[in-house]
Structure 1
Amino acid sequence: MKKHFFVSIFRNILHNRVFTAINLFNLVVGFAVFILFSVVINYDLDYDKFNVNYDDVYRVQTRQEDSYPINYCTYSPAAFRYHLMQDVPEVDKLLLMREVSGGAHGAGQFFTLPDGSQLNELDGYWSENSVFDIFSVQLLEGDKRNALTEPNTIALSQTLSDKLFPQGNAVGQQVTIGKYYLLSVSAVYADFPQNSSLRPTYMVSMPTYPILSGEPNFYENWTAIEFDNFVLLKNGADPALVEAKIKNAFAHVKNFEKSFPYLHPMSKWHLSPNSQPDMIVGLGILSLAAILVLILASVNYVNLSLANSTQRSTEIGIKKVIGSSKRMIAAQFMAETILQVLVATLLGLLVAQAFFPVLNRILNKNLDLTLWTNGPLLGFIFLVSLVVGVLSGLYPSLVISSYSPVKVLKGKIFSNVGKAFSIKKVLVAAQFSISLFMLIVSFILFNHVDFILNKDLGFDSKNILYTEINVHNPVRFETIRNRFLQHPEITDASFSSTIPFVGNIGGYVSWEGAAPDEREMVSRNYVNYDFIPTYNLKLVYGRNFSEDYPADRQACIINETALKVFGWDDPIGKRVNFYGRFYPVIGVVKDFHPFSVHNPIPTYVFFLNSDVISSSSLISVRFTDGNEQQAKAIVSRELESILPNDPFEFKDFGVAFYLDQAIGFWQSMKRMFLFFAVVTLIISTIGLFGLILFTVDRRTKEIGVRKVLGSSVLSVYWQLSSEVIRMLGVAILVGCPAAWYIYKAMPGAYKEPLSAMVFVTGIVLIAVIAQLTISYHVLKVAVRNPVEALRYE
């Protein structure tokens, strides 16, 4: 009996080759997409989990409540390490780190390669030796007990070590950074995994910091919120209790009374580093989309199984007549379903593995996506496969096994399936709703990304080159600028502390007319006379800094947001109080985006820089259209001749803009949702194909009667397609509000207003695809000879 049971299952699967092929294709597509994006979601959720102390490591961050908007800064002062956290008994270990850069821009350092060329490494850190105790770092050379305890020592990642010392044995050798500083290599460590929030390519010992930075008393500074303070709590320690103990850390720090430290767990460093929901919302949308694709495939299986049941009615009737029970028939159909779903899962795994390179292109990344070695993920996928198999097979098996053998053998099967068909229509309507939802959301994401890419930034971002340079021998910028402007390819040049999208310097200000204790956290920038014209910032009040006005050294320019916050009607001549010094306002620039367009424009203040470059600065150059390569060669050559001992690298400003994390994230989301939309349309088309087959089988005789009574082909076509149109109406009522909700839930300070055309385009596209899908079958039966239709069954 058991042998016959399994033989029947395989015979039926092989006998109905077309049905099996369509269903397998449907399920393989659904599972491949689900698997692909499960891997991506799992990859993001697994960030930092390779660390053995994952659950007990926190970063001390700073919430600045007097900033506009409230600023959740990932950094905190070095003084926390030495005067705050070490007195908390719940803390087991402390680690102080800081990104290595010449200034506030994270521009990294230059290493001298064996051939004498310069290598710019961006991801370096000053670090204490406790990095090896708190994070899971695999040391390949050296001793982790003292690798970063001595001054003038550096630990290299394996990749950087191979570049600097291709022959190996790096420990004990010396490296030169910035063309000036010799450091001794004390250790080589394995590269951090790609899904690690912290991925230093090198680490310089923290005892070296006061020597090279010129800040011997940095550990006493409570206002330089520029360091990473990591803490490892003791097992079982309550982080809320630690937060309560340190919450008033800034109470004694003038102008920082409204800043508060808080503990940010490692589990949130990647998903919400600044306590912003972009990544969480995005992964939530992706998870929903992956589940919806799998639901579509499952619904398709139900629809196609019910459509195919008419072809197997004789088999069911005969089995019932010779004594097969309802349970036995239901078990057979359920087993067939589970077997097909498991095969589809295996094929889906193979397809997903083959499509990983395509997925990396969609994400515009080079992720090391693993599948076969990820036991928990494979277990989850097969568990989902089993659940889908049971749910997909349950309803069809119950409906098919309940057919009356007498009616089946008399050809009256459809009298038993009214409810099945009603539920089938509900399922197809659900498919249409999901497809329409995915399509509209794809359009919304396309428009949103195009909006943020093309949004007016408030300055001219085209034809700009920039570089950071850490000058050791002071030089007048006018000397550099004049050399640049000798060439017709260069139209302007400036230097500044930061530029838009590259770096930010904060600070507290008060203003004329403010309450005695009222102050605001602002973004500030120190610029020369040429910065505003170089970036084509627009002045709406007053004037730019000018050499004709010596008093401008003690003046400032603000943006429109600052004007609103300060509450001034006539800003020119009003004074800004910056740490006890008063700066009259000489101009107001039109609001511009100094960093991510997903963030509100902050309060911004410009101060005039000295004309002498004496430390780290950003040099910006505007060139003429079409001359980027020539301009880069010119300014590189001229700057090298003036500052031969200071390494630098000119970059296109567009690189900084497109490296913005929010922009990159939503670009990936746009591409992924387009992929989802195409897949859901394919699966929905398969589902509609099954519905039409079922409809034509059920209503063939009815159509013959209608034609005999004089109905036209057009009338018959309308009768058969009207059900699909009604289901489209249901899809519109469900899919459009759901897509609108996603639009409202999307984070970002600026979003393009939602257009009705987004919904209209989605509805029209779905309707056209539906009509093209059903037209062949409907027209085929509509023009059929009514005599053949009446003989049917």
Structure 2
Amino acid sequence: MLLNYFKIAFRNLLRHKAFSLLNIAGLSVGVAVALLIFLIVRFELSFDTFHQKRDRTYRVVNDFTHEAGKDYQVGVPFPFVPALKTDFPQLEKVTTTFQAYNSQITVLDEQGAITKKFREENSLLFTEPEFFQIFDYPWLAGDPKKVLVEPNTVALTRSIAEKYFGSWQKALGKFIKLDNKQLLQVNGILKDLPDNTDFPIQIAVSFPTLRKFIDANEFTNWGSVWSSTQCYLVLPPKASPTQFDRSLASFLKKHNSDDRNHTYKLQALSDLHFNTRYPSMTYRSISKTTVLSLVLIGAFILIIACINFVNLATAQAIGRAKETGIRKVLGSNRGHLIVQFLGETFFIVLLAVSVAVLLVLAVLPFVRSISNLPDDFQLPLSLEMVGFLLFLILVVTVLSGFYPALILSGFQPVQALKSKMTLQTVGGISLRKALVVMQFSISQVLVIATLIAITQMDYVRKKDLGYNQEAILLVSVPQDSLSQFKLQTLKNRFQALSAVQKVSLHFAAPSSGSNSMTNFRFGKATEDAQFPVNLKAGDVDYFSTFQLRLVAGRAYFPSDTAREVVVNEKLLRQVGVKHAQDAIGQTIRINDRNYPVVGVVQDFHNVSLRDPIAPTAILANKSSYRQVGLKLKPANADMKETLRTVEQIWNETFPEYVYEASFLDERLAEFYEGETKLAQLFKIFAAIAIFIGCLGLYGLVSFVAMQKTKEIGIRKVLGASLPNIVSLLSRDFLKLVLLANVLAWPLAWWAMQRWLQDFEYRTPIGWWMFAVAGLGALLIALITVSFQAIKAAVANPVEALRSE
């Protein structure tokens, strides 16, 4: 019997080719979107779920509360972890980590000669053996309990070892040099870490080695909190994280009673990947709201595709009325007919899912480029994937087929055989109208969300940041003391290039992910301010290179060490100074030194537009310069030649180091990489939703036109014009699309208003966005409906009336 149902389904597909194509196309695209979103969400939810102790593993984070608000930090002071181990011996495991950025790795041969040089951006981690007893990363060689005990030891992942030494077996026992300062011996090899981890470790250095790179005073300083220094621990079974949070308050009071601003607490490992407030080491956090949004979008698009099927199937039921009547006369009961029609739907869904899988395989390379999926990600052939496909087939079959099966099986045989069935008597015209409204409402929400996301990203790109970021090349410089003596020579050589306008040595650009926050006192205050100041270090040309705008006073005089300071307007507002000129001549105390304020700059954005502008102080400090910034002339005819010359000069100055450079606007774009990708996904899903909705609308109008063939013929004979006929077939559907707009607007406004809350500076949601989306939907629907309506209107009325 099942085989017979498939034969009937196949014949019906061939008999109604156009509508079968519409059904399969709509379902295929809907299922493909659901499958792609499943792959993305499944990947995001799988982060660090493979660790055995994951349910008891936590990171210590802290909230820094001050008069201006609250800062959320992931770092701890250096002495925090040793004291924690002493005071809480009941903790199963405790470890500390220090993440290094832009590390220089020099590979040496057996004679100590340099063979290769590499720049590792953020994959180097100083840590302890306990780290690998908390997190389950497999090893190829070496005992994880012993490898990182002694100073100057290092473990590499397999791919890094092969990059450095050709094969991981040869790497054991060999030496590398870190930042041209310290020799490290390779004592262990890790398997390459999976893509679904928030710990981008490729080089693990023993934590005692860090003392060669950090001032010894930092290891006893409770007042200095570095975001790079993090603490991870494993609670005993059945221990309460909430209770431990309360213990941390007493712990801090015991060791640093003067600190009344920091509140330390535990963050669960399961929260690490989804908390944008406390970012992970990879800075690739994705909020749970975003994950939920993707799930809802996938569900909505699948529902739209199922609605298409329901509308087309119920409308098509008129043509199958006689078939149903004959089957009932020959003895089929309603249950048999429901099973038959569900079987036909299952056959169509099976075809659609097969096409959807092929679509996913075709577009997966593109999807990888606009999502966080790894570059080598492939469609997995796993039980989980097979289970999801079977679940999709079942759900889509039930959603798409059950209602049409009820309608078809409910025909009265006498009416069916006498051809008395009409569109109004098949399943209720009001239900199909409601389904069309639902389709276009969902589509409109996605379109409006896309417009708002694109507008916000455009606002971000064009927002005046308070300085100039165009055509500025940032080049990293070494940190060792010998290299520091060469910085001025490097700057002079760059300044001599005809394509270079200005050159500055500094710690970081005005907007940067690298920011240093510290306590300070202003003017005659006897206590530190109740909020921190953002320190920016740069030479005197920092202001002209980035075109920071002085509103009072002057830039400080040239100096290798900090003697004077320039502050921003935000700092003055926070300390109660109303006029910028009044700040000139006052002092600011930072790190136990007083600096006279000689200038005030207009506020500029320190980080991304998600965060408010911070109170800022800028001073000269040669020992902390990490970059040289080159302001290139806009009329630079040969940019490639200029870049080659810059690299050549740098390599001649620092032959032992790896050259690294990028443009400032590229670095600023990285702030919004996640939102940019989300906006691209919104665009694609909105287009797909409209496409599927139009397929269904086209099919439904076709059936309406078919049912009104004789009516149209009579109207034309009686003198109806082409616009009259088109209006007859179009106006009801356009009313439905207009109603869909009205329903979609408040929902879209609410959802995107919440999304924009992540940005401290955001574009207003304007009425024109809703108007554009609404008019666009009406225009697309009108084109879709009019195409079939015009086709029916220009048909020969004689053909329509011949059977009368």
Q: Structures share a fold, TM > 0.5? A: yes
Whether the aligned pair in 2 keeps the contact of 1:67 and 1:522 (CA below 8 Å) is no
Per the TM alignment, residue 453 of structure 1 is displaced from its structure 2 partner at its CA by 2.2
2:46 is the alignment partner of 1:46: yes
Whether the aligned pair in 2 keeps the contact of 1:498 and 1:525 (CA below 8 Å) is yes
In the alignment, the residues of structure 1 paired with residue 369 and residue 204 of structure 2 have an alpha-carbon distance, to the nearest angstrom, of 31
Query: What does 1:413-452 align with in structure 2 at a 5 Å threshold?
Result: 413-414=421-422, 417=425, 420-452=428-460
Match of 2:282 in 1: none
Query: What does 1:16-165 align with in structure 2 at a 5 Å threshold?
Result: 16-66=16-66, 68-88=68-88, 91-100=91-100, 106-112=101-107, 116-122=115-121, 123-165=123-165
Whether the aligned pair in 1 keeps the contact of 2:32 and 2:359 (CA below 8 Å) is yes
Whether the aligned pair in 2 keeps the contact of 1:95 and 1:229 (CA below 8 Å) is yes
Per the TM alignment, residue 698 of structure 1 is displaced from its structure 2 partner at its CA by 3.2
Whether the aligned pair in 2 keeps the contact of 1:178 and 1:647 (CA below 8 Å) is no
Per the TM alignment, residue 291 of structure 1 is displaced from its structure 2 partner at its CA by 1.2
Per the TM alignment, residue 514 of structure 1 is displaced from its structure 2 partner at its CA by 6.4
The letter of the residue matching 1:154 is V
Match of 2:731 in 1: 722
Match of 2:595 in 1: 583
In the alignment, the residues of structure 2 paired with residue 563 and residue 616 of structure 1 have an alpha-carbon distance, to the nearest angstrom, of 26
In the alignment, the residues of structure 1 paired with residue 116 and residue 633 of structure 2 have an alpha-carbon distance, to the nearest angstrom, of 29
Per the TM alignment, residue 651 of structure 1 is displaced from its structure 2 partner at its CA by 3.1
Query: CA offsets, 1:596-617, max 9 Å, x none?
Result: 22222222111232xxx44663
Match of 1:103 in 2: none
In the alignment, the residues of structure 1 paired with residue 22 and residue 47 of structure 2 have an alpha-carbon distance, to the nearest angstrom, of 38
Whether the aligned pair in 2 keeps the contact of 1:58 and 1:266 (CA below 8 Å) is yes
Match of 2:504 in 1: 494
Match of 1:258 in 2: 261
Per the TM alignment, residue 49 of structure 1 is displaced from its structure 2 partner at its CA by 1.5
Match of 2:614 in 1: 602
In the alignment, the residues of structure 2 paired with residue 654 and residue 574 of structure 1 have an alpha-carbon distance, to the nearest angstrom, of 35
In the alignment, the residues of structure 2 paired with residue 9 and residue 491 of structure 1 have an alpha-carbon distance, to the nearest angstrom, of 73
Q: Give the alignment's TM-score, normalised by structure 2.
A: 0.91
Whether the aligned pair in 2 keeps the contact of 1:469 and 1:648 (CA below 8 Å) is no
2:769 is the alignment partner of 1:758: yes
Query: What does 1:347-358 align with in structure 2 at a 5 Å threshold?
Result: 347-358=355-366
Match of 2:313 in 1: 305
In the alignment, the residues of structure 2 paired with residue 382 and residue 297 of structure 1 have an alpha-carbon distance, to the nearest angstrom, of 17
For residue 237 of structure 1, give the secondary structure of its aligned residue in structure 2. coil
Per the TM alignment, residue 553 of structure 1 is displaced from its structure 2 partner at its CA by 4.2
Match of 1:270 in 2: 273
RMSD over aligned Cα, in angstroms?
2.7
Whether the aligned pair in 1 keeps the contact of 2:105 and 2:176 (CA below 8 Å) is no
Counterparts in 2 of 1:128 and 1:3: CA distance versus 1, 3 Å: closer
Which of 531, 535, 555 is residue 524 of structure 1 equivalent to? Answer: 535
Match of 1:406 in 2: 414
Query: CA offsets, 1:3-62, max 9 Å, x none?
Result: 655554454445444433321221111111110121111111111112222222111112
Per the TM alignment, residue 297 of structure 1 is displaced from its structure 2 partner at its CA by 0.5
For residue 324 of structure 1, give the secondary structure of its aligned residue in structure 2. coil
Whether the aligned pair in 1 keeps the contact of 2:548 and 2:602 (CA below 8 Å) is yes
For residue 116 of structure 1, give the secondary structure of its aligned residue in structure 2. strand
For residue 745 of structure 2, give the secondary structure of its aligned residue in structure 1. helix
Counterparts in 2 of 1:699 and 1:514: CA distance versus 1, 3 Å: farther
In the alignment, the residues of structure 1 paired with residue 448 and residue 789 of structure 2 have an alpha-carbon distance, to the nearest angstrom, of 28
Q: Percent identity?
A: 28
The letter of the residue matching 1:253 is N
Whether the aligned pair in 2 keeps the contact of 1:248 and 1:260 (CA below 8 Å) is no
Per the TM alignment, residue 112 of structure 1 is displaced from its structure 2 partner at its CA by 3.3
Per the TM alignment, residue 503 of structure 1 is displaced from its structure 2 partner at its CA by 1.0
Per the TM alignment, residue 81 of structure 1 is displaced from its structure 2 partner at its CA by 0.7
Match of 2:793 in 1: 782
Per the TM alignment, residue 285 of structure 1 is displaced from its structure 2 partner at its CA by 2.4
The letter of the residue matching 1:383 is F
In the alignment, the residues of structure 1 paired with residue 85 and residue 743 of structure 2 have an alpha-carbon distance, to the nearest angstrom, of 53
2:237 is the alignment partner of 1:235: yes
Per the TM alignment, residue 733 of structure 1 is displaced from its structure 2 partner at its CA by 0.4
Query: CA offsets, 1:166-187, max 9 Å, x none?
Result: 0442111111222342111011
Q: Give the alignment's TM-score, normalised by structure 1.
A: 0.92
Whether the aligned pair in 1 keeps the contact of 2:168 and 2:189 (CA below 8 Å) is no
For residue 359 of structure 1, give the secondary structure of its aligned residue in structure 2. helix
Match of 2:515 in 1: 504
Counterparts in 2 of 1:293 and 1:10: CA distance versus 1, 3 Å: same
Query: CA offsets, 1:339-374, max 9 Å, x none?
Result: 322332233223213321121123386444343334
The letter of the residue matching 2:105 is F
Per the TM alignment, residue 70 of structure 1 is displaced from its structure 2 partner at its CA by 1.8
Whether the aligned pair in 2 keeps the contact of 1:505 and 1:525 (CA below 8 Å) is yes
Whether the aligned pair in 1 keeps the contact of 2:407 and 2:427 (CA below 8 Å) is no
Whether the aligned pair in 1 keeps the contact of 2:500 and 2:633 (CA below 8 Å) is yes
Per the TM alignment, residue 316 of structure 1 is displaced from its structure 2 partner at its CA by 0.9
Query: CA offsets, 1:193-218, max 9 Å, x none?
Result: 12211011201101211134342761
Match of 1:176 in 2: 177
Match of 1:369 in 2: 377
Per the TM alignment, residue 249 of structure 1 is displaced from its structure 2 partner at its CA by 4.4
2:341 is the alignment partner of 1:330: no
Question: Which is worse superposed, 339-348 or 354-363?
Answer: 339-348
The letter of the residue matching 1:87 is D
Per the TM alignment, residue 688 of structure 1 is displaced from its structure 2 partner at its CA by 0.3
In the alignment, the residues of structure 2 paired with residue 561 and residue 121 of structure 1 have an alpha-carbon distance, to the nearest angstrom, of 36
Per the TM alignment, residue 476 of structure 1 is displaced from its structure 2 partner at its CA by 6.9
The letter of the residue matching 1:211 is K
Per the TM alignment, residue 121 of structure 1 is displaced from its structure 2 partner at its CA by 0.9
In the alignment, the residues of structure 2 paired with residue 435 and residue 792 of structure 1 have an alpha-carbon distance, to the nearest angstrom, of 41
For residue 175 of structure 1, give the secondary structure of its aligned residue in structure 2. strand
Per the TM alignment, residue 305 of structure 1 is displaced from its structure 2 partner at its CA by 0.5
2:779 is the alignment partner of 1:768: yes
In the alignment, the residues of structure 1 paired with residue 208 and residue 710 of structure 2 have an alpha-carbon distance, to the nearest angstrom, of 90
Match of 1:677 in 2: 686
The letter of the residue matching 2:401 is G
Whether the aligned pair in 2 keeps the contact of 1:688 and 1:774 (CA below 8 Å) is yes
Which of 734, 738, 741 is residue 732 of structure 1 equivalent to? Answer: 741
Match of 1:215 in 2: 216
Whether the aligned pair in 1 keeps the contact of 2:538 and 2:625 (CA below 8 Å) is no
Which of 694, 719, 744 is residue 703 of structure 2 equivalent to? Answer: 694
The letter of the residue matching 2:209 is T
Per the TM alignment, residue 164 of structure 1 is displaced from its structure 2 partner at its CA by 0.9
Per the TM alignment, residue 248 of structure 1 is displaced from its structure 2 partner at its CA by 4.6
Whether the aligned pair in 2 keeps the contact of 1:155 and 1:188 (CA below 8 Å) is yes
In the alignment, the residues of structure 1 paired with residue 780 and residue 792 of structure 2 have an alpha-carbon distance, to the nearest angstrom, of 20
For residue 429 of structure 2, give the secondary structure of its aligned residue in structure 1. helix
The letter of the residue matching 2:117 is Q
Whether the aligned pair in 2 keeps the contact of 1:68 and 1:521 (CA below 8 Å) is no
Query: CA offsets, 1:753-775, max 9 Å, x none?
Result: 22333223222222222122122
Question: Which is worse superposed, 365-374 or 405-414?
Answer: 365-374
Aligned residues: 781
The letter of the residue matching 1:108 is S
In the alignment, the residues of structure 2 paired with residue 254 and residue 578 of structure 1 have an alpha-carbon distance, to the nearest angstrom, of 21
Per the TM alignment, residue 710 of structure 1 is displaced from its structure 2 partner at its CA by 4.3
Whether the aligned pair in 2 keeps the contact of 1:597 and 1:750 (CA below 8 Å) is yes
For residue 66 of structure 2, give the secondary structure of its aligned residue in structure 1. coil
Whether the aligned pair in 1 keeps the contact of 2:150 and 2:206 (CA below 8 Å) is yes
Whether the aligned pair in 2 keeps the contact of 1:78 and 1:218 (CA below 8 Å) is yes
Match of 1:650 in 2: 661
In the alignment, the residues of structure 1 paired with residue 326 and residue 479 of structure 2 have an alpha-carbon distance, to the nearest angstrom, of 88
In the alignment, the residues of structure 2 paired with residue 302 and residue 415 of structure 1 have an alpha-carbon distance, to the nearest angstrom, of 14
The letter of the residue matching 1:584 is P
Query: CA offsets, 1:423-476, max 9 Å, x none?
Result: 011101111112222222222222222221232222211222221321232527
